[in-house]
Structure 1
Amino acid sequence: MDIREIKELIKFIEKSDIKEFQYENETESLFISKNGDVPQIIQGAPMQYAAAPAVAAAPAAAPAVAAAPAAAAAPAVSGTEVKSPIVGTFYEAASPGAAPFASEGETVKKGQTLCIIEAMKIMNEIEAEFDCVIKKRVGMNGKPVEYGETIFIVEPI
């Protein structure tokens, strides 16, 4: 794991609700914490990194507060929530000006693309897991979404 990958990982963790992250393989060991507690270095661990607590605390608090009203508003429509499987940027269409993959009131089939979530310059198509009707699109085009955040409310058919 090179320093660029570690920096990207730290940025990802700062923006998420993850409190601690640990990675180990045969040659490397990495531990990142937003709690401010730095664990003791274990003998034989070649690499040990920890995120600065002051930097991690401020950015993590702001998105959580901003996301709370959106999450609270989402359940106003009854149905099954479709949650984001990754952290990234929500896109309703393949390109600007193109028709959305799924609109409110539309019936979609299992496997049909609902949206795209861009994560680290990779476009991830999010597909319907079952036949359903789109009740509400909660995700906002071009806006960030967190892991587990509701992006659609659907009604299975």
Structure 2
Amino acid sequence: MDIRKIKKLIELVQASDITELEIKEGEESIRLCRQPAVSASGQKAGVTIVNSPDAEAQTDQEDYDEETLLRSPMVGTFYLAPAVDAAPLVKLGQRVEQGEPVCIIEAMKMMNQIQAPHAGVVTALLCQSGDGVEFDQPLMVIE
């Protein structure tokens, strides 16, 4: 899908009262989700782009137990798979063991494997592959 079309769709979603828009053109699809306005707690506002109709990421801000959150140890780009055509390291509902690689964060051209801090089941993915992440940002929930 052309980047100009995507930018125009983002503008249309932001200018309207709709909270979600999904468009499919052949094999390509895009889903735009509006997040709530910035609150006093500093939560992000804007539009989240999900490039897959069966995306596994969660876009809404839910409350999770702090000990179940896997947080980013650095600023960088989040990836679920080591390569574009490779299988993801984890999927929703998958059981992981402590120390098992669950995602990758690219920082300064270095690929850093992030390991599960404890054994459990991946119950939520809070980022999409290719998303920029900040230090201490929640990436996924492992219960």
Higher share in strand: 2
Segments of structure 1 that go 5 or more residues without pairing to the other structure are 1-64
Q: Is residue 77–residue 136 contact of structure 1 (8 Å, CA) maintained in 2?
A: no
1:75 counterpart residue number = 62
1:3 counterpart residue number = none
User: How far 1:72 moved relative to its partner?
Assistant: 8.6
Task: Name the CA distance, whole Å, in 1 between partners of 2:61 and 2:136.
Answer: 13
Which among 117, 128, 131 is matched to residue 116 of structure 2?
A: 128
Task: Name the CA distance, whole Å, in 2 between partners of 1:130 and 1:74.
Answer: 23
User: How far 1:74 moved relative to its partner?
Assistant: 3.7
User: How far 1:151 moved relative to its partner?
Assistant: 0.2
Task: Name the CA distance, whole Å, in 2 between partners of 1:100 and 1:76.
Answer: 25
2:51 counterpart residue number = none
Structure 1 residues 74 and 100 mapped into 2: Cα distance closer, same or farther (>3 Å)?
farther
- Higher Rg of the two aligned structures: 1
Amino acid at match of 2:110: I
Q: Is residue 70–residue 117 contact of structure 2 (8 Å, CA) maintained in 1?
A: no
Task: Name the CA distance, whole Å, in 2 between partners of 1:154 and 1:74.
Answer: 16
Task: Name the CA distance, whole Å, in 1 between partners of 2:117 and 2:68.
Answer: 11
2:91 counterpart residue number = 103
Task: Name the CA distance, whole Å, in 2 between partners of 1:118 and 1:67.
Answer: 24
User: How far 1:73 moved relative to its partner?
Assistant: 2.6
Q: Deviations over 1:111-133 (max 9, x none)?
A: 11010000000000000111110
What's the RMSD between the two structures over aligned residues? 2.6
User: How far 1:140 moved relative to its partner?
Assistant: 1.1
Higher share in helix: 1
Q: Is residue 107–residue 132 contact of structure 1 (8 Å, CA) maintained in 2?
A: yes
Amino acid at match of 2:106: E
Q: Moved runs in structure 1, 4+ residues, more than 2 A?
A: 69-79
Segments of structure 2 that go 5 or more residues without pairing to the other structure are 1-37, 49-57
